[in-house]
Structure 1
Amino acid sequence: MSLLIPGFDYRRVPVADGVSLNVAVAGSGSPLVLLHGFPQTHLMWRHVAADLAADHTVICPDLRGYGASDKPAVGTEGHADTDSAAHADGAAHADAETHSAAYSKRTMAADIVALARALGHDRFALAGHDRGALVAFRAGLDHPAAITHLACLDVLPTLDMWDVMRGTTAAVGFHLYLMAQPPGLPERMIAACPDDFFGHFLDLWTGDPEAIPAEVRTAYLDACRAAVPSIVADYRASAGVDVDHDRADRDAGRRLTMPLTVLQQDWGAALGYDAAAVWRAWADDLEHRTVGYGHFMAEEAPADIAKALRDLLSR
């Protein structure tokens, strides 16, 4: 099912060799790029984007590997010989790293900077939810001169996420561990029942089921069903190369220097950590708020999210 955000102009924009992004654009004024999360597409921003387009140029892409954007090929074969010495000495891990490099958050962040420049914006504000927030976080670290303001919704930086996931509470993140496995098994398992797999998260993480109407849910499931290998590759990167990039930045003392707003559910109470403290370790100018919405907050409380983004842009 192909759904569009009413009033937005759609186009395909080349951002890298062989990769173009599907993007919706509307409005005028200072530019704001909105990045979606899992298991969604740019449609998750439909309410917020329409609101903000009244006084901003709003740019809503599908991330590479998602929705109608291009999906660079990743390997899913060649791992049947699991008893070979090559795999025993770590070649399987190396292969997984090679396959996930196309979906590292560094690569995906470079896509977004290239997208904004192609649309005429060397500097822009950036907001992301879930996976999109990880891309936004990486863009803020790698391209600080391009990002004027940053918002990250309901996520932790990748390195910190793995640090706090432990014990039985880590069961809530079973999908993180599943998709971290070498190419082959995760793709086959998820492809065997994609609607059940992706629908599980749409059901479990939604505080208000009416926030995702049937036609939008169908559009999300259709998009995910067609993107299993690239979605798995995105998650696999977050168990490998993305951790390496975050750790290198932490060791080097790199921080987010632009104004940052973080909105999160109360993960800390459930998992036993101080979410605001985690983010303060990365940001010079942080506003962190715990909210009472479900995970899909841009769809459950669009007026509140639009206001939070406007407040951020006024800082």
Structure 2
Amino acid sequence: RDLLACARALGHETLAIAGHGTGGHVAAYAAAYAASWAPARVTHLAEIECIPSPGHHGRADLAYELSRYQACWFAQLHPKPESATVAVPEEWTQPAAESAGAFNPSAVADYLDLVPPGQSPGANGHFRVPPYPVDLRFGCPLLVAWSRDGRLGGWYDPPDLWRAFATGPVEGLEVDCGYYIPEEAPDILSDALRRFLTAEIY
């Protein structure tokens, strides 16, 4: 609601929204809110490396749980779990080796300067997203993009999960990169968004 109000205050009656990771949930809520009272306000929605928040519920198995940093760490032998409650290892705050080249080291340093000591950047953001209401729907065209080297495509069919909430057309795109699609594959993503936003969809 605040996002749509901000857009109107800036002179934009209609807008297309793209969100990556947790930002994808914000985008979904904005599109659904608009669909309930002013469907024409959000013309397109792009979900990048994001699945609906109920997507993991009821699907978690040991492989999924151990892939999460928290579970991986707490599943180790003493004293590793205990040490994790005191401080976060330095390695947790750095981009993965295969993604590091997409980030300027000084930008990473500036970002980490804002992280409280002992906390992992963004670690709690995903878990604050509540499961979507069962009646959450949006009718605008939807583009779902996920990384080939990330986890979502290995666990799920991301477009299929989003179809439960989309009443309009859904398009899927697998991108040959890691989790940070906007940084690792900016040209591929921008070209896909340009085609998506300018295509005539019936």
User: Normalised by the size of structure 2, how large is the TM-score?
Assistant: 0.75
Paired residue for 1:118? 9
Letter in 1 for 2:100: P
Letter in 1 for 2:58: D
Paired residue for 2:79? none
Ranges in structure 1 where 5+ consecutive residues have no aligned partner = 1-109, 179-188
The SS at the match of 1:303 is: helix
Match of 2:59 among 150, 161, 164: 164
Q: Matches of 2:120 and 2:101 in 1, distance apart?
A: 29
Measured against aligned partners, the alpha-carbon deviations of 1:151-176 in whole angstroms (never above 9, x if no partner) come to 11111111113333322232222449
Paired residue for 1:49? none
RMSD: 3.0
Q: Matches of 1:177 and 1:115 in 2, distance apart?
A: 40
Contact residue 198 and residue 224 of structure 1 kept, 8 A? no
Alignment of 1:1-315 (within 5 A): 110-144=1-35, 145=38, 146-175=41-70, 192-193=87-88, 195-199=90-94, 202-203=95-96, 207-225=98-116, 231=122, 234-238=125-129, 242-243=130-131, 246=132, 248=133, 250=134, 252=135, 254-266=136-148, 267=151, 270-271=154-155, 273-283=156-166, 284-315=168-199
Q: CA deviation at 1:193?
A: 3.4
Paired-residue identity, %: 27
Contact residue 191 and residue 225 of structure 1 kept, 8 A? no
Contact residue 194 and residue 224 of structure 1 kept, 8 A? no
Q: 1:269 to 1:309 in 2, by over 3 A?
A: closer
Select the structure that is richer in helix. Answer: 1
